[in-house]
Amino acid sequence: MLDYKLLQALVTVIETGGFERAGIALGLSQSAVSQRIKLLESRLGQPVLVRHPHLQATPAGQRLLNHVQQVQLLERDLRRQIPALSADRTRLRIALNADSLATWWADAIGQFCQREGLLMDMVIEDQDVGLKRMRDGDVAACLCSSDQPVAGARCVALGQMPYRALANQAYYDRHFAQGLTAKALQEAPAIVFGPNDQLQHRFLAQCGYHGRFPYHLCPSSEGFIRLAMAGMGYGMIPDLQARLALPQGGLVDIAPGEAVPVNLYWHYWRHGGEFMERLTGTLVAAGVGWLDKIP
């Protein structure tokens, strides 16, 4: 039978990123946390953590993390049915993209979190790769652009976020006065969220350009818009944010009619219990109000 004190040590080490911080969170010494991890590895006969060069879970450790996430959700349902049990708050670790967090996410889940006493540990990940976190057992749920669920999980369509290529007027006049020519797209600096962000490539492909281009990397949704407004480049900005920026005269659409749609899907483990079903229903309802319908 699994010893959940040992598993909690593993979860906390991964969540906090170190043994010392895990000890503070658990009210234990760093040595005690280390001993619990060693005991867990001894009982399994294999390591659960890779300590160098970066602290991360091994494949066995990732499966244990996934198991703990599901158990915590089931315990949440049990506490709801038997009030005499501990009323500790539930902490849910999920992966989602920064643009959703910066636009519709808070309004969608705010009341739910207050009503359910839910604490959220939100891991920011690009919508194209967030599902990997779930496969690795690092998160209990994921908001991403893939409609292919991992084994043991469900996938629900929430809606679509259209993105448009925006820049300030001076930047547009400087680089695209003659239109979106191949030469202009080759030379005009873009703003890209991160190395896994493929939105820029999809936009350029729609414009018929498949070559290289200069770009800034900016892993911040708010910073992304500020760089565009400062004239540092053009970037793919979601319509939800563009509606606020365009009327103010800060940004212009450099390619009207060339919006890039991104479908958003909610993935969660099948054994998450009634709690995850309620959360999923809340997100589906919110998607109807905030997101475009997926064709």
Q: Name the pairing type of β-strands 90-96 and 141-144.
A: parallel
Rounded-to-integer distance, Cα 220 and Cα 145, Å: 19
Which alpha helices (H) appear in the chain, and where do they start and end? 4-16, 19-26, 30-44, 59-81, 98-102, 105-116, 131-135, 169-175, 182-187, 199-206, 221-229, 239-245, 273-290
User: pLDDT value at position 230?
Assistant: 93
Mean pLDDT of the chain: 87
Which tens digit of pLDDT belongs to each residue from 195-220? 888 999 999 999 999 999 999 999 88
pLDDT tens-digit profile of 50-95?
Answer: 887 788 888 888 888 888 877 877 776 776 666 655 556 677 888 9
pLDDT one-digit tens code per residue, 21-48: 888 888 888 888 988 988 888 888 889 8
Complete domains list, the chain, with CATH: 161-262 (3.40.190.10)
DSSP letters spanning 46-89 = S-SEE-SSS-EE-HHHHHHHHHHHHHHHHHHHHHHH-TTS--PP
- Say if CB 10 and CB 71 are below 8 A apart: no
User: Model's pTM, two decimal places?
Assistant: 0.76
DSSP code of residue 292: B
Residues 62, 68: Cα–Cα separation, whole Å: 10
- In tens, the pLDDT along 103-157 reads 999 999 999 999 888 888 898 887 767 788 888 777 889 999 999 888 888 999 9
